[in-house]
Amino acid sequence: MAEKKRARSKHPASSAALRARHRTLMDMRLLSVLGFSGLLAIFAVVGLLFFVRPATSEVERRELAAFPTLTVESVLDGSFFSGFGLWYSDTYPLRELLVAANLAFKNLYGFQPATQMVGGNVIADNLPPEGADDPASGGPAVVPGVNDGPVEVPTAQSVQEDIQANIMQGLYIKDGAAYSVYYFVQSAVETYCQALNTCADNLAGEATVYSILVPNNSGAMLSEEELAGLGGTDPREAIRYFNSLFNENVHPVFIYDTLRAHNDEYLYFRTDHHWTQLGAYYAYVELCKAKGTEPADVLNWEHMRFEPFLGSFYDQLGLGEMEANPDYVDAYIPTSTNDLVFWDGEGARYDWQIITDVTDWARSSKYAAFIAGDKPLTIIENPTMDEGPSCLVIKESYGCAFVPCLVDDYKTVYVFDCRYSDYNIPQFVREHGIDDVIFINNMTLATTDTVAERLLWMSSE
Amino acid sequence: MVFSSFAFLLVFFPLHMLAYLLVPEKLKNPVLLASSLVFYAWGGPRFVILIVSEALASWFFALRIEASEGGLRRLWLIAELACLLGLLGYFKYWTFILANTHSLFGVPAEIPSIVLPIGISFYTFQLISYVVDVYRGSIAAQPSYGKLLLYCSLFHQCIAGPIVRYETVAAEIDHRSASERDIYEGVRRFSIGLAKKVVLANSCAAVVDSLLPIGSPALATQAMSGYWLGMVFYALQIYLDFSAYSDMAIGMGRMIGFHYLENFDHPYQCSSVQDFWRRWHISLSSFFRDYVYFPLGGSRCSRTEYIRNMAVVWFLTGLWHGASWNYILWGLYFLGFLLLERFVIQDRLPKPLSHLSALLVVLVGWVLFKFESFADLGSVLAGMIGANGAGFTNLAVHTVFLQNIFLLAASMLACTGFGPWLRTRLSSLAGTGDSAVRLFGALEMLTPPLLLLVSLAALAGASYNPFIYFQF
């Protein structure tokens, strides 16, 4: 009886406790709904702050999506709405913060092995064995007549997209450094060589055409065994093949062996796909040998150091190991001048510096210290010479670190970035009485169809 | 518009919910309908006319069927089916049919390009089920056109399912209420679906794209382990992606008082191929069961008729997934294994072996599903048995595996019933003491907001597109 009474008195207490626990749980769930709704509301309100929406992204080095044009047609076909969605997310005010948070979160997906291969399953064309001729002489001038010039000139945008894809395919990562692997593409190489041959033929007797092909960092820096195991094309043999396709009017400057001989030095960045100015200097020395001139004492020029530098490989891979051990950029200032003039894509003229102090620039932008970056036309006048030779450098971004080395040797240095320049090379050379035409390009970029096609268009008359 | 986008999460959905909550009861359906039509129009406003017309035809024919008797009822039904299936056939399959006649007979000389209206496969099937159910007398025809249009265009499930039967929501279209618990469960389910989609499924998709690049010559030269790893990630991606959409649909419905049926039941825990199809895309399987298989005679017939019935169902199941031969092949591939299980294996395999063999069948089935090009399909199947000479593994595959090993584990776990089991256990424990209820309550409280934050970051991260040169 007493037990029954105790049970009766206990039961209401248990029910009350259960009800209290249930209420606690439901209160916490209510808080959850409020938290979820509150977060959505906050993020939605932030999305309404149109005046703080960015138009460009420094981190990604690109223009963000623009607000779509409102037309009846764009509404009816739905492109206005898809454009709005893209614009809304691309320019969302907190986007870069969220991107950074996501990159950190993605580190939880797995381990970062010390040795990695990213995007490495790329198929290269077979390198024709007969292409391997004397690297210095250029070998036989045989370019198959497959190219009659491009039907359409590749736009700067399409060239950039191709380069982006080619540079970032086949990245070998070891000890916090990324190495891009070279993959041979027959058609692009033939077009590239045809472009230089065309230019040299058009300028025969008027100017001397030089070709410098810069190997990727994997070719210059990795051991032979390691390089062979990566599955790309042997870069030395590939450059020899390029050179074998040039005619007698093109003078190849073979820098591959020189770079390898110095590969215990800081010739390439570890977090970026470019070379350092030291690597460019060794190429310059080889050019001087080919020309029979004495190289300037570049390494003893006044220089500036910009650090930390975390370049394109870091942007792509986001490896903590790279962030912990970033690159630095050493930039040597020519003794004759540090001034240049460049024209942008709109034709506007700017006075700038050969070596710009980029100390306060973003850590991803330090390579922009050299000759104001990639411009359609840049001109450097040497005030210490009243008369003297002139040269035209046709380059992509690898040439930026190279051009300053030439400044003391020439009265005038003209520079085209082949991706953005619309000039006709032979006409420009004649109009300005240029003596030397120097093509300096990274070999992967020279193996990019759109780059080669654009060069062919610029070289043809 | 997709649920997993900034525009949906931060513009459409908050505005819709705000309007829905602020209007009086009688305006809730109009608000829901207007939102649904705006949502549908986002992908191309011209196709709104299609869904509006299909709903109008179905509303009209259903009322005619209900009001008629005898052969006339059948005529109205046939007219309705001709309308709906004719439109589906034109928009989804006409190009495919012409491409085949072109390659066989050279006609027509040019194949027209027909844009597939978003969600047409889902809402067409919903309307078919509605009218057939009216014809069968199992439901009453909806007298209000607006309510029928709301049923088939409801943005929760209009473009990616589940294929909701009218009877499931008929009462809730007229009268619904969302309890405190409904709202929480809806928010929770939505946030779980969102995270499954943008964190797990999208990450799995990135791995698949890197290992199995469709249309690239590199697809033919992957190492054997790369093909298998890629296909395992694809199997995870497709389940997580598809079930995530169902989760989000079910969640959004529950927030406002709709109770849609489950569309997946942890299919990779299946004990056989047949069991897999009981658990995978349940709303589609049950549609074919109720509207094709049973009317044909089901299994209560001769062996020949049974095989014919199954062949029809699996041919249509394959075809429903896409206008391409690989989907038909995929459907017939499952037909083969289902017949094998029924007539040859007959539950004689030990359970673990049966489970593993079913998973293998499903995994290889995904190869057929993924690659529309027979050249790509052949490359992958050859590579999976090591017949392409690319070796067993390489550094790139090793890298991908190690970089995503926890993603792989988390995705596998998300395919199982571990999460719901754990929640049930913790819920039981919560009744035993105040500390336990606080712990469980904290988990319940933090799950939705945290998943939302992680999902927003992942969505932003997916748009991260660094260039090696300045593009401005």
Whole-complex ipTM: 0.90
Report pLDDT for B54.
Answer: 96
Distance from CA of A17 to the nearest CA of B (A): 9
Write the residue in B11, B45, B180 that is nearest to A88 by C-beta.
Answer: B11
Rounded Cα distance, B265 and B255, in Å: 21
pLDDT score at B470: 54
Contact A26 B180 (CB under 8 A): yes
Which of the residues B395, B400, B411 would you substitute to probe the A interface, choosing the one with the greatest number of A C-beta atoms within 10 Å?
B395
Q: A121 falls in which pLDDT band (50, 70, 90)?
A: low
3 state SS of A418: coil
Cβ-based neighbour number of residue B93 at 10 Å: 16
- Calculate mean pLDDT across residues A418-446: 94
pLDDT tens, residue by residue, A375-410: 999 999 999 999 999 999 999 999 999 999 999 999
What's residue B467's pLDDT?
Answer: 65
Rounded Cα gap, residues A400 and A313, in angstroms: 18
User: In this complex, which of B7, B396, B458 lies closest to A89 when CB atoms are compared?
Assistant: B7
In whole angstroms, what is the distance from residue A458 CA to residue A454 CA? 6
Residues in B closer than 8 angstroms to A24, CB to CB, are 434, 437-438, 441
Buried/exposed A315-347: b ≥16 CB within 10 Å, e otherwise: bbbbbebbeeebbebbbbbbbbbbebebeeeee
Closest by CA position to B183, among listed B253, B234, B104, B249? B253
Residue A4 has pLDDT above 60, yes or no: no
CB–CB contact A29 B441 (8 Å)? yes
State whether A30 and B184 contact (CB < 8 Å). yes
B63 has a pLDDT exceeding 80: yes
pLDDT of residue A56: 85
Count other Cβ atoms within 10 Å, centred on residue A390.
20
Measured in angstroms, the CA of A351 and the nearest CA of chain B are apart by 19
Residue A11 pLDDT level (bands cut at 50, 70, 90): low
- Omega prior to B108 cis, within 30 of 0: yes
Q: In the predicted model, is pLDDT for residue B313 greater than 80?
A: yes
Chain B positions in Cβ-Cβ contact with residue A374 (cut-off 8 Å) = 469-470
For B409-453, what is each residue's pLDDT tens digit?
A: 999 999 999 999 999 999 998 878 888 899 999 999 999 999 999
Interchain contact, B191 vs A29, CB within 8 Å: no
Contact between chains at B14 and A31 (C-beta distance less than 8 A):
no
Of A26, A85, A113, which has the smallest distance from its Cβ to B1's Cβ? A85
Chain A residues whose beta carbon lies within 8 Å of the beta carbon of residue B215: none
Res B6 pLDDT > 80: yes
Share of chain A above pLDDT 90, in %: 66
**B321: annotated active-site residue:** yes
Q: Is A126 on the interface with B (CB under 8 A)?
A: no
Q: What is the DSSP letter of B25?
A: G
Reduced to 3 states (helix: H, G, I; strand: E, B; else coil), residue A172 is strand
Residue A233 has pLDDT above 50, yes or no: yes
Would the CB atoms of A32 and B470 count as touching at under 8 Å?
A: no
pLDDT in tens, B141-165: 999 999 999 999 999 998 888 999 9
Element (H, E) at A377: strand A377-381
A-B contacts (CB, under 8 Å): 230
Q: Is A93 on the interface with B (CB under 8 A)?
A: no
Give the Cα separation of A453 and A459 in Å (integer). Answer: 10
Q: Do B466 and A312 touch (CB under 8 A)?
A: yes
Name residues whose C-beta falls within 8 Å of residue A300's C-beta, 6 or more positions apart in sequence. none
Q: What value does the mean pLDDT take over residues A125-136? A: 60
Shortest CB distance from A373 goes to which of B430, B470, B471? B470
What local confidence, expressed as pLDDT, does residue A142 receive?
43
- Between B383 and B159, residue with greater pLDDT: B383
Contacts of B396 in chain A (CB under 8 A): 117-121
Record: contact A89-B463, CB cut-off 8 A: yes
Chain B interface includes A41 (CB < 8 A): yes
> Coil, strand, or helix at residue A169?
coil
Determine the Cα–Cα distance for residues B257 and B388; give it in Å rounded to an integer. 54
Model confidence at A264: pLDDT above 70:
yes
Order across the sheet with A171-174: list the strands.
A115-118, A171-174, A177-180
Query: B469 falls in which pLDDT band (50, 70, 90)?
Result: low
What integer best gives the mean pLDDT of chain B?
Answer: 93
Kindly identify which residue of chain B lies nearest to residue A120, measuring between CA atoms: B396
Tell me the per-residue pLDDT of B219-246, one tens digit each, with 9 for 90 and over: 888 999 999 999 999 999 999 999 999 9
B-contacting residues in A 398-457 (Cβ below 8 Å) = none
Average pLDDT over residues A23-28: 90
Q: Name the helix (H) or strand (E) containing A308.
A: strand A303-309
Mean pLDDT computed over B314-328: 95
> For the CA atoms of chain B, what is the radius of gyration?
24
> Which stretch of DSSP H or E encloses residue B378?
helix B374-384
The pLDDT score that the predictor gives to residue A9 is: 47
- Listed range (A164-173, A302-311, B325-334, B354-363) with the worst mean pLDDT: A164-173
Task: Give the integer Cα–Cα distance in Å for B136 and B167.
Answer: 13
Higher pLDDT, B3 or B466: B3
To which residue do tokens 């009485």 refer?
A433
Looking at per-residue pLDDT, the higher value among B56 and A451 belongs to B56
**What is the predicted pLDDT for the residue at A136?**
42
pLDDT greater than 70 at residue B338: yes
**Can you give the pLDDT at residue A143?**
43
Mean pLDDT, residues B341-369: 93
pLDDT of residue A146: 38
What is the per-residue pLDDT across B100-123, written as a single tens digit (0 to 9) for each? 999 999 889 888 888 888 899 999
In chain A, which residue's Cα lies nearest the Cα of B186?
Answer: A33
Please give, rounded to a whole number of angstroms, the shortest distance from the CA of A249 to a CA of chain B.
32
The predicted pLDDT at position A120 comes to: 63
Average pLDDT over residues A444-455: 91
What is the model's pLDDT at position B408?
98
pLDDT at B146: 95
Q: Is-contact A114 A174, C-beta < 8 A? A: yes
Q: Between A250 and A78, name the one with better pLDDT.
A: A250
B259, B266, B321, B398: the catalytic one is: B321
Domain boundaries, chain B: 6-176, 183-272+347-412
